[in-house]
Amino acid sequence: MLLRILHRTRYRYHGAIDMAQHMVHLRPVDTASQEVLSHELRIDPNPAARSDTTDVFGNQRTFFSLQSTHNMLTVEADSLVQTRAPEPLPEGAPWRGMTWERVREHFRYRAQAPFDAASEFMFASPYVPRDDAFTAFARPAYKAGLPALEAARMLMERIHTELTYETDSTEVNTPALAALAQGKGVCQDFAHIMLGCLRSLGLPARYVSGYLLTRPPPGKPRLIGADASHAWVSVYVPVVNDREAADGLTGAWFDFDPTNNRCGWGSPGEDYVTLATGRDFADVSPMRGVIQSGARHTLAVAVTVAPPDELDQLEAAETD
């Protein structure tokens, strides 16, 4: 599926800003499930300095600084991405039947055991502590002897059915425990809760930020800026058999979206676009920074995800 993503962030400051430093994660990553065909990041006012780098998790990020007086900042990312439908798991794949207990045992500390990079996604992170409340919520899905992927699917379904999706029920900095306690939240909260449940059981999982193609209500036109960024979870299943490892097989990540109850190998579906991955939202915030001023600000974010020809038509109609 060919998708174009337009992500516009605009800060209006109630006073002059003399200097600012910002970092953005707005370029989608290249994966086995998607290919970035083009990407442009437009910044107004023009930054005095800009640097494009890759972070420790393999995400593309941009640092920029503004050193002239301004009272508004607009950052617009325009990306064209070719996505692919998730591949079905091959019969006999080592991840298919591996139990969640075996995955946990693989990551249990053992002196001189080989390092597995996925282990850094087992621990507490800024938004996701390890807590008994997560363990208690996860237990009904993680019965003894269940395959790790089946248990993760059951946990995803439990979050989807037992928690309420409610816009504005949480803030961007709401901790996962608070969202679980109130039983409602948005996609970021659902992802954080699932991460907390998995890590509380000793299982590695990472946060995925990205986009999802949505359809307008029947009879209603698509509107520019009416979409939003999205979040889900990626669960890791290792290869623990020495012979399989010798044959070149490696561990694999499987994506689970508790907001929409969808999952798949590499992505939940071809209508998803992965932007960045990390321990939680703090690692992959689309935009963050500091300003030299005491001025207050208002923030407006507009996201559009659509086939490119459809988005081109919408932009043309806006300029008429």
Tens digits of per-residue pLDDT, 227-277?
889 999 999 999 766 555 444 557 889 999 999 999 999 899 999 999 999
pLDDT at 318: 67
Nearest Cα to Cα of residue 25 among 312, 272, 276, 235: 276
Q: Which residues belong to CATH 2.60.40.2250 in the chain?
A: 2-83+284-319
Band of residue 109 on the pLDDT scale cut at 50, 70, 90: confident
Average pLDDT for 27-48: 96
What does the pLDDT average to over 145-149?
Answer: 95
pLDDT tens column, 191-238: 999 999 999 999 999 999 999 998 876 777 665 556 889 999 999 999
Q: Is 159 exposed, middle or buried (0-12, 13-18, 19+ CB in 10 A)?
A: buried
Cβ-Cβ contacts under 8 Å for 105 (sequence gap 6 or more): none
From residue 64, how far is each of 6, 26, 121 by CA, in Å? 20, 13, 28
Quick one: 296 exposed, middle or buried, by C-beta within 10 A (0-12, 13-18, 19+)? Answer: exposed
CATH classification (class only), 2-83+284-319: mainly beta
Question: Residue 142: is its pLDDT beyond 90?
Answer: yes
pLDDT (0 to 100) of residue 298? 92
User: Which part of the chain is CATH 3.10.620.30?
Assistant: 100-282
φ, ψ of residue 261 in degrees (nearest 5): 60, 50
Tell me, what amino acid is at 301? Answer: V
Report the distance separating Cα 52 and Cα 63, nearest Å: 6
List the strands of the sheet with 287-291, edge to edge: 49-54, 60-66, 20-24, 287-291
pLDDT tens sequence across 49-93: 999 999 999 999 999 999 999 999 999 999 999 999 998 877 777
100-282 to CATH, choices 3.90.70.10, 3.40.50.2300, 3.10.620.30, 3.90.1150.10: 3.10.620.30
Residue 243 is predicted with a pLDDT of: 53
> Could you tell me the CA-to-CA distances from 276 to 138, 285, 292 in Å, in that order?
26, 9, 28
Please list the alpha-helical segments (H only) found in 53-175. 100-107, 132-138, 148-162
Query: Residue 320 pLDDT > 80, yes or no?
Result: no
Structure tokens that stand for 214 in this block: 């949505």
Which residues, other chains included, contact 262 with Cβ-Cβ below 8 Å and sequence gap of 6+?
256, 268, 269
Dihedral sign computed on CA atoms, order 161, 167, 170, 175: positive
pLDDT given for residue 87 in this prediction: 85
